Chains A and B, each alone.
Chain A
Amino acid sequence: MDLLTELTILVLAAFVGFEVISKVPNTLHTPLMSATNAIHGIVLLGGLYLIGPAEGFLNELLCVIAIAFGTINVVGGFLVTDRMLEMFKRRD
């Protein structure tokens, strides 16, 4: 994909991010921070992507660490957010 297409996507994503977020009530700020935190765990994909072509012990080791870090970010992030939100369930 060419750079300009990617930059177009980048800018549009920024505006979507601003729009979607500016409506979140204070009450949900901590879970929100945690949820967005889980989403940037997507860097995990970068590790998956690079480990195939990676050669040599050091590169492979760094990739495994990156994948492990990314997984902690994703798994931990979504779980912790769920634990927080579980408490907001409606009561009668």
Chain B
Amino acid sequence: MYIATFLQDPDFIRSLYIVAFALFIIDLRLMNHPRTARRGNVIGAIGMGIAVVATLLIESVTDYGLIVLGIAIGTAVGIPAARSVKMTAMPQMVALFNGVGGGAVALISFVEYREALAIGANPELEALIPMLLAAIIGSVSFWGSNIAFGKLQEVLPGRPIQLPGQVFINIGLLLVCVVCATVIASGTESEGLFLLILIAAAVLGNMFVLPIGGADMPVVISLLNAFTGLSAAAAGLALDNVALIVAGMLVGASGSILTLLMAEAMNRSLANIFKGGFGGGGTAAADSEGKSVRSTDPADVAIQLAYASRVAVVPGYGLAVAQAQHTVRDLAKELEKRGVEVNYAIHPVAGRMPGHMNVLLAEADVPYEKLREMDDINPELAQTDVSLVIGANDTVNPEAGMPIIEVGSSGSVIILKRSMNTGFAGIDNPLFYEENTALLFGDAKESVQKVLKEVEAL
């Protein structure tokens, strides 16, 4: 019996929480380097295991049947989803996982409030205020993430969907949340009002992401990730749970930084992003009329590449969609055999999330030393003979309104492209009409295969 009492001692449980959040911090610390990152993630998972076990030890935590049911459902959905998702669909997956986290927070706040009412009164303010905050942010995060998922999965149109006076509608919805929350906090006991808050926040979550164009979606997912972290921290304040407070706030802080870094990389202010509209198309295209592009063939591309001394590969989302990363690696190896120096120039938002392209290329066994960041490789592009742009568009587009990989400064530019459509951002690309640019039309993978064959035959 002594052991049971000891295990259920609140101080022992709190000590386990301290171990858990220390492990989370070590996890994030180890994420600083590709070599230690994986270990970091395992350590984070161990921390999470400890936090869950510690909570199960709490005396008032009973109902093991229902707990097992919930965890079983979550595991049955989570594991197959995580195992089967393609690397290209990773941003959507992160959005979905983030959404359910926010949803959990909103539900927890609602149940907590209902429980308090069942006992007979509003909770104390120091629990009630964070509870209301958690409900609002959690609900926004849940619905916003679902919309972000819908847009990236192309269930919803990627272009911005905007109502007239959108900003005022959003402000109105936020006001509804704040006013209802204030009424509850000042003493009114009303489940209906709480529900109204959740609904208004849900509509706000939808309204807030719908007007944002597909190109800005990574920033939005990152922001919603930070939101969910903050809502978890708020829920922790309401529940007096240190593990929730620390872990939630760690995510809130890191997510905010990541959001700013991403916005900065795209040269877009957060205010601009949330005003919406980017990625809508229809803005350019007009001045491209009358200009012509130069198309080329695989044999020509092969010759240019094989006799270059330096080649920069600029991968984009199109490469990912065509699953061409392995073929590109083969081509790079073949070129390296001939003494060509091949580097990969990675735009911070190549793919649809920062680092997305690194993951895809790492999957294809490209050593990470070869993956060069934009600021690092841009000055070298003037000494590069050929830039091979594969399925990228916005990240090399001088008109995209963000810092780009400046392929225009290299000796020649070869662009592998499916068609003359504009990119995800919907803006025409003047680079295509430059004299040192040649386009090779077709599926990225097939094109690279053809070029590879030609190189091997040389």
Q: Which DSSP category, helix, strand, loop or mixed, fits chain A's interface?
A: helix
Chain A residue at minimum C-beta to C-beta distance from B248: A40
Question: Does B437 reach chain A (CB closer than 8 Å)?
Answer: no
Produce 1/0 per residue, B234-246, CB < 8 A to A.
0111011111111
Contact of A79 among B79, B108, B111, B243 (CB under 8 A): B79
CB-based contact B42/A37 at 8 Å? no
Interface size class of B (residues with CB under 8 A): 35 or more
Q: Which residues of B are found within 8 Å of A6, using beta-carbon distances?
A: 236-237, 240, 242, 245
Residues 33-68 of A at the B interface (beta carbon under 8 Å) = 33-56, 58-60, 62-68
Q: Which DSSP category, helix, strand, loop or mixed, fits chain B's interface?
A: helix
CB distance from B154 to the nearest CB of A (A): 20
A20-B254, A85-B37 are known contacts. Are A62 and B101 too (CB-CB below 8 A)? no
* Complex: A83 Cα to B184 Cα, angstroms: 45
Q: Which residues of B are found within 8 Å of A87, using beta-carbon distances?
A: 359, 362-363
CB-based contact A39/B44 at 8 Å? yes
A34-B94, A39-B44, A44-B52 are known contacts. Are A10 and B237 too (CB-CB below 8 A)? yes
Interface size for A (C-beta < 8 A) is 81
Chain B residue at minimum C-beta to C-beta distance from A78: B45
Question: Does B122 reach chain A (CB closer than 8 Å)?
Answer: no
Question: Does B287 reach chain A (CB closer than 8 Å)?
Answer: no
5 A–B pairs (Cβ distance < 8 Å), ordered by A = A1-B240, A20-B25, A29-B354, A46-B241, A84-B90
Q: Which residues of A contact B (CB under 8 A)?
A: 1, 3, 6, 9-10, 13-18, 20-56, 58-60, 62-91
Q: Which residues of B contact A (CB under 8 A)?
A: 21, 24-25, 27-29, 31-35, 37-38, 40-42, 44-45, 48, 51-52, 55-56, 58, 60-63, 66-67, 69-71, 73-75, 77-79, 81-83, 85, 87, 90-91, 93-94, 97-98, 100-101, 103-105, 107-108, 110-112, 114-115, 118, 126, 221-222, 225, 228-229, 231-233, 235-237, 239-255, 257-258, 261-262, 346, 348, 351, 353-356, 358-359, 362-363, 365, 367-368, 371, 373
A1-B242, A17-B254 given; 5 more Cβ-contact pairs under 8 Å: A13-B250, A14-B252, A50-B239, A72-B78, A75-B79
